[in-house]
Amino acid sequence: MALAAVATPEIRPTLEERGQPEIIPLDAPWQGPDDTSDADDAPFEDVAEDVTDEAEARAPSPAQARLLRLPIARVKPKRVEAPAWSLSTLSGRLVELSSVGASAALSFTAQLLHEAQRQGEPVAWVQARDSLFHPPDLAATGVDLRALPILRPASPGDLGKIVGHLLRSGAFGLIVVDLSDGEAERALPAPLQSRLERTAALHGTCVLCLTDKAADTGSLGPLVSWRGEARRVSARGAVVRAEVVALKDKRSAPGWHCAVEFERVAGMT
Partner 1 sequence: MRVACLDAPAFPLQLLRRANPDWAGQPVVVVDEDRPQGRVLWANAEAFRCRVLPGMRYAAGLSLTGELRAGVISDEARAAGVAMLVEHLRRFSPHVEAAAEQTGTFFLDAAGLVSLYGSLETWGAQVLATLAELGFEATLAVGFSRFGSFAGARGLQAEEAASLRVFADVAEEQAVGRAVPLERLELDPALRESLHRLGVHTLGAFLALPPAGLQTRFGEAAAALHRWAMGTRFDPLRPVAPPPDLWRRLLSEHAETDATRLLFLVKRLLDPLLRKLAERHEALLEMRLIFTLDRGEKQIHRLRPAEATLEAPLLLELLRLRLENLALGAGVVELFLSVRGVRAHAEQIRLFQETPRRDLAAANRALARIRAELGEAAVQQCCLKPGHLPEAGFTWQPLEKLPLASPHAEGRRRVVRRLLARPVRLPPVPRHLRNDGWIPLDPAAGAVVRLDGPYVVSGGWWHAEQHREYHFAHTRRGDVLWVYYDRARRRWFLQGTVE
Residue of the chain from 2, 15, 57, 63 that contacts partner 1 (CB under 8 A): 2
Contact 58, 217 (CB under 8 A): no
| Window 17-76: residues binding partner 1 (CB under 8 A) | 24, 26, 29-30, 71, 73
> Closer to partner 1 at the Cβ: 7 or 190?
7
Q: CA 169, 171, 173, 179: dihedral to nearest 10 degrees?
A: -40
Which of 4/190 has CB closer to partner 1? 4
Contact between 223 and 194 (Cβ < 8 Å): yes
User: Is 120 a binder of partner 1 (CB under 8 A)?
Assistant: yes
Compare residues 239 and 252 and give the one whose CB is closer to partner 1.
239
The verdict on 1 binding partner 1 (CB under 8 A) reads yes
Return the residues of window 130-149 that contact partner 1 according to CB under 8 A: 130-149
3-class DSSP assignment, residue 264 = coil
Residues 172-191 that bind partner 1 (CB under 8 A): 172-173
> In angstroms, what is the minimal distance from the CB of 6 to partner 1?
7
Torsion of CA 138, 140, 143, 144, to 10 degrees: 100
Q: Of 19 and 135, which has the nearer Cβ to partner 1?
A: 135
Binding to partner 1 (CB under 8 A) within 227-256 occurs at 230-232, 240
Strands 94-98 and 226-236: parallel
| Structural contact between residues 258 and 243, judged by C-beta atoms closer than 8 angstroms | yes
- φ and ψ at residue 232, rounded to 5 degrees: -80, 135
